[in-house]
Amino acid sequence: MPVSDSSHVLVTGGTGFIGSHTVLELARQGYNVVVVDNLSNSCEEPLRRIEKLTGLKDRIPLFKVDLADKDGLREVFRQYSFSSVIHFAALKAVGESVHKPLMYYRNNIAGTLNLMDAMIEFGVKNIVFSSSATVYKADPEGRPFREDSELGCTSPYGRTKLFMESIIQDVVNAEQGWNAIMLRYFNPTGAHESGTMGEDPMQIPNNLMPYMSQVAIGKLEKLHVFGTDYNTRDGTGLRDYIHIMDLAEAHVAALRRLPANQGYEVFNIGSGSGQTVLEMIDAMSAACGKKIPYSEDPRRSGDIDTILCDPTKAAEVLGFKVSRSLEQMCADLWRWQTTNPNGYEQ
């Protein structure tokens, strides 16, 4: 028998970077959350910190279940009656996906199929999906991506996100009553303002900001700037960055949108403005009070000049706009890094 009413939200991958900050925001706004995570790239500690930050009296239920485990997943659905699902659980390293494509297809796509099977079986027809700007085809003109921009992925990771979107869309089209929102976001960074929650890469970080913060604290020697001859303000690649707590709030806005019964919808989530790599180095240097060492290295294959978000639709339909500045992203990231030099391990 279910142990709760339909006010529960299931969050897959809820102990990861984006998932845990979204769970924090859900808990802060009064949602009852259940987390499913296999803990392959994360740990339980973020949930304990969420409980302290929000003053929760009860522990957030965590099921250590891999989405490949259909029976384990079905058991979670048997115990709780869910109103909706937010689906984060997936492998996410672009570079790794190039070298291990079958692992990414098997994990990301099969996991989504099993999740959708369970949702169908137990009559849960509302889902917010964690997608990515990597589903878009690179625009050589550097124009901001709109939701109707041409699709075309450059990595197996991006293709899995696009295939996962298609699976969900086909289910929505096949059966009445489904509501699904795809959130395609750009470059999340920062940390919770308390400094108690942030990104905790298990290996050497793949992304600019966590790598840079580890250089700043002395765990890595220097930052590598790949390419200084791009068609941008200073010759380095320009990207759209969004504070992790803004992104968490976007997921809650999407969750609130689901009861409007709009079927299948897609929203870009970003700031609409971008910063170059050198500008991010300057901003992070200001936040930590010291120059961050870096080397200028050749371009990487596949990198392009500019990747920007057009956030108009999210603002008009979801009522969502970013509210945190670049300076706050860097300050919060530095606070997390200095308070937790070894991540959640300590």
pLDDT confidence of residue 93: 87
What is the predicted pLDDT for the residue at 99? 93
Q: Using a pLDDT cut of 90, give the percent of the chain over it.
A: 90
pLDDT tens digits for 265-315?
999 999 999 999 999 999 999 999 999 999 999 998 778 899 999 999 999
Neighbouring residues of 275: CB distance < 8 A, sequence distance ≥ 6:
238, 239, 241, 283, 326
pTM above 0.85, yes or no: yes
Rounded to an integer, what distance in angstroms lies between the CA atom of residue 64 and that of residue 37? 5
pLDDT > 60? residue 2 = no
Q: 317 to each of 85, 169, 254, 267, 270, how far by Cα in Å?
A: 20, 19, 10, 9, 15
| Residue 6 pLDDT grade (very low, low, confident, very high; cuts 50, 70, 90) | very low
Which tokens is 300 given? 């990487």
CA-CA distance, 112 to 117, in Å (whole number)? 9
**Tens-digit pLDDT profile for residues 150-196:** 999 989 999 999 999 999 999 999 999 999 999 999 999 999 999 99
31, 157, 185, 241: which is the annotated catalytic residue?
A: 157
User: What's the pLDDT band for 316 if we cut at 50, 70, 90?
Assistant: very high
Mean pLDDT rounded to a whole number for the chain: 95
Tokens of 303: 């990198």
What integer pLDDT is reported at residue 203 of this predicted model?
81
- Report pLDDT digits (tens) over 69-94: 999 999 999 999 999 999 999 999 88
CA dist 105 and 102 (Å) reads 5
- Residue 157 known to be catalytic: yes
